[in-house]
Amino acid sequence: MTTLLDGRAFDRSAKRPPVAVQALPCWVDFNGPAPVSSFLVAADTKSSVRIPQPVPPAGAEHDARTPPEIVPVQQSAMRGRGLLGVRLHAPAGYAFAAVERTRPPHSVEADTYWRVCGASDDCLVWLHDETPSVHTEPMLQLPAWTQLQAAVHAPVSAAECEGH
């Protein structure tokens, strides 16, 4: 089984309309563009949440501790249930993608074909009846995961290997 992802929407030089990426805690049986802003209206609350930020790599100038980002909590409702959400900013060099499952072009042999239809530098992460935090929503751990993947994939010198 072959799965392909057509990621041409990530080309930042191409002019595309902005895409609002939202992670909902429910299944919506629809695949395609929708006027989400007309039925999912977000309002700011008076509370906020702290999202830990990755520590800059060794050698980069930074304070001893990188302060967490403080983001306001938003509220809305979907199908009568309360939603609380926070805006998660993509780490530098990353973006959130909106994808749709489509039929592959005739020249491509794939069982599953996903097309990136837009990208955004942030994503609104929603939960039912509770404020998303790093303890309740794994997406908010994204800054830590990108820092970990950078460390795992960083080149290792021979001297570093000999020391362990």
* Residue pLDDT, tens place only, 57-74: 555 554 445 566 788 899
Residues 6+ apart with CB under 8 A from 81: 128, 129
CATH of region 3-162: 2.40.128.680
Q: Which residue type is seen at 111?
A: D
Which of 13-17, 30-34, 98-102, 105-109 is predicted least confidently?
Answer: 13-17
pLDDT at 17: 65
Closest-CA residue to 122 (of 138, 102, 136, 142): 142
CA distances from 100 to 4, 24, 43, 158 (A): 12, 16, 28, 44
Most confident residue range from 64-68, 122-126, 151-155: 122-126
Q: pTM of the prediction?
A: 0.72
The predicted pLDDT at position 62 comes to 47
Question: What is the percentage of the chain residues whose pLDDT exceeds 70?
Answer: 77
The domain segmentation of the chain, as residue ranges, is 3-162
* CB 142 within 8 Å of CB 150: no
